[in-house]
Homo-oligomer: A and B are copies of this chain.
Amino acid sequence: MMSQYSKQKLSVSSKLTQISANRCFDGEQHYYRHESLATNTPMTFSIYLPDEALAGQRCPAILYLSGLTCNADNVTHKAHFQQKCSELGVIFIAPDTSPRSSDDIDVADDERYFVGQGASYYVDAVEAPWSEHFNMQSYIVDEFYDLVRQEFPVNSIGITGHSMGGHGALLLGFKYPSKFVSVSALSPVCAASESDWGQAAYTQYFGDDKSLWQQADAAKVIAKAGQQYASLLVDQGAADNFLSEGQLQTEKLQQACKDAQQPLTLRYQAGHDHSYYFIQTVIEDHIWHHYRQAQLS
């Protein structure tokens, strides 16, 4: 299982402050901080680099967007993507879910867990006080995307995510198909503009302008975008309480893909809930999905 550890050749610029580096399988799990222009805050992310990448060889990358209340730690500690990424030579990148307050910067927040810090929905807010820092769509698809391509040996990027991050992956993947070679999602919020969580957030971030709500609803964006990818993989726990509560509305994604003639592999996993125990169960299949699409691209 273990190869000889080779001294890393990777060098990153002063834009990035390294927080930690730990050997994990045949690669390293790194954390970094950088100053974001899009959010006007420091932003933290984790990146798993297989030995090929540490040696400077270009590798396919997966960008994982996390769900409500999470930061990069949840997926990095609990999803167990490292083993398969080590085997296949895939880079796995996990940004934060929103800008956050720090000693110097006071970022707006909301006591409800589905609005504010940890709950950006990966959109650019237009309403005060959110518009000052909550520009996560621009952050992900422009600034962070470019940063990752400049600083790490990435040869293609696929996008995935869980729950609110599944919404983010579907939304950004179909809004910016030239940027991503593949899309998948786990337990995604499929129709944010029509779920309680999403409506609470969009009232804050977009106010009354319902055209912005539509443009930030994954199912509506997919229906309009048409087919963009050879395949789309979505896993959903069949015993997920947020599914039965109507927060996820998987059927709207199914209808949108039908309307768009976008091939969709939708798997309802019996007995599984919304937790990282579910995510770790299916993450390997998602890594395979992105790896295969990267090979074909």
Taking the nearest CB of chain B, how far is it from the CB of A53, in angstroms? 15
- By secondary structure, the A interface counts as mixed
Contact of A80 (CB < 8 Å), options: B237, B238, B278, B280: B280
B82 x A280 contact (CB < 8 A): yes
Tell me if B273 and A23 are in contact (CB < 8 A).
Answer: yes
Cβ B2 vs Cβ A269 within 8 A = yes
A254 at interface, CB cutoff 8 A: no
Q: How large is the interface on A (under 10, 10 to 19, 20 to 34, 35 or more residues)?
A: 20 to 34
A1 at the interface (CB under 8 A from B): yes
Question: Which B residues touch A2, using CB under 8 A?
Answer: 267, 269-270, 281-282
Say whether A23 contacts B239, CB under 8 Å. yes
Contact check: which of B25, B78, B272 meets A23 at CB < 8 Å? Answer: B272
A160, CB-defined interface residue at 8 Å? no
Task: Specify which chain B residues have a CB less than 8 angstroms from the CB of A239 in the assembled complex.
Answer: 23
A180–chain B nearest beta-carbon distance, Å: 25
A4, B270: Cα distance in complex, Å: 6
Chain B residues within 8 Å of A238, by CB: 5
> Please, how many angstroms separate the alpha-carbon atoms of A148 and B126 in the complex?
57
Do B280 and A83 touch across chains, with their CB atoms under 8 A apart?
yes
Q: Which of B1, B22, B78, B271 contacts A277 (CB under 8 A)?
A: B22
Distance between Cα atoms of A275 and B237 in the complex (Å): 31
Q: Does A285 contact B (CB under 8 A)?
A: yes
In A224-239, which residues have CB < 8 Å from any B CB?
237-239
Give complex CA distance A36, B281 in Å: 33
A260-294 vs B, Cβ < 8 Å mask (1 yes, 0 no): 00000001011111011110111011000000000
Contacts of A285 in B (CB 8 A): 1
From residue 1 to 54 of chain A, which have CB atoms closer than 8 A to chain B? 1-2, 4-5, 22-25, 29
Residue of B whose beta carbon sits closest to that of A24: B277
Q: In the complex, A272 Cα to B283 Cα: how many Å?
A: 24
**CB distance B273 to A22 under 8 Å?**
yes
Among A44-88, those with CB < 8 Å from B are 77-78, 80, 82-83
Residue of B nearest to A271 (CB): B5
Q: Considering the chains assembled together, what is the distance between the CA atoms of A238 and B271 in angstroms?
A: 41
* CB proximity of A196 to chain B, nearest CB, Å: 24
Q: How far is the CA of A278 from the CA of B77 in the complex (A)?
A: 12
Q: Give A contacts to B, CB under 8 Å.
A: 1-2, 4-5, 22-25, 29, 77-78, 80, 82-83, 237-239, 267, 269-273, 275-278, 280-282, 284-285
Q: Which 5 A-B pairs have the closest CB atoms?
A: A5-B271, A5-B270, A24-B277, A80-B80, A22-B277
Interchain residue pairs with CB less than 8 A apart (5): A2-B270, A23-B239, A23-B272, A78-B78, A83-B280
